[in-house]
Amino acid sequence: MNVLRIATRQSRLALWQAQEVARQLRELDPSLECELVKITTRGDRFLDAPLGAIGGKGLFVKELEQAILDGRADLAVHSMKDVPVELPDGLHLPAVLARASPLDALVSRDGRGLDELAPGARVGSSSLRRQSQIRARRPDLRVIPVRGNVDTRLAKLDAGEFDALVLACAGLERLALSHRIAQVIASDVIVPAIGQGAMGVECREGDYRVESQVARLNHEATSVAVRAERALNRALGGGCHFPVAGLARVSGTDVMLRGLVGSIDGRQVIERSATGSVHEPEAVGNAVAGALKAAGADRILTAL
């Protein structure tokens, strides 16, 4: 029987992503059956602690990867912004799907945008990247950590714990929650997370039955952009919970990457960019990282 077992977290967004990959796989091969292997990760269990204190965003993927390695699953679907730059031995990412919006969104109780929020307004975000850039633009705001899935965070907003939240546009769109967006935040206001808006499919190296199915989902332009962004992150130390941002775009045979490192208090923000060949996206990522380091990004990151 032609069955693929897909490891996934159990949040509504993670299940949507796994089901979307299953749908696309079945569209290519109607004889294929897909089974979801639902897993609760360490990142899902410890919602009271900051991600950085318990190991960073890699905690959302480790258990899924283990399920592939021990044979309980054939593949896993991830938000690429959650995937550490170094994968476990024996696993790889044969497909990165076409990217949804990479941008952040402001969801506010009264529909105001970031620049219109009242002085002292409470903005929920646990991302050091977002905290840094929000404080750089609006140092008067109170940026407060918030954990939990999208629905949990929105419930906290609606209950009055926050005046606004910053969330990924892609997640809200995938959950049919676009109506909650007060402002799509342009990338020149808040540079997105590495890999944001893109989904990746991970499987065992050399598992040709699975690889041959999965590889057909790869979107080359998205894959190139994400490779450039991840090379930037790797060259800066590879921390998912660092205040590092990057967004690459492909135009013809060029890939253009903009990278940012900021202090958590928002007082120091360094941006650099570079353009290079789509055939060498890692070189573009390394070039931007080198320029950021030369401008003082190393000092910001080592001070964390």
- In whole angstroms, give the CA distance from residue 28 to residue 45: 35
Is 70 exposed, middle or buried (CB count within 10 Å of its CB: 0-12, 13-18, 19+)?
A: exposed
Q: Which residue has the tokens 């900021």?
A: 262
Alpha carbon distances (Å) from 199 to 101, 163, 194? 11, 30, 12
Contact 35, 6 (CB under 8 A): yes
The sign of the CA dihedral 205, 208, 209, 211 is: positive
Q: Which residues on adjacent β-strands are paired with residue 272?
A: 259
CA distance from start to end of the chain: 51
Q: Which residues on adjacent β-strands are paired with residue 273?
A: 258
Which residue numbers are catalytic?
82
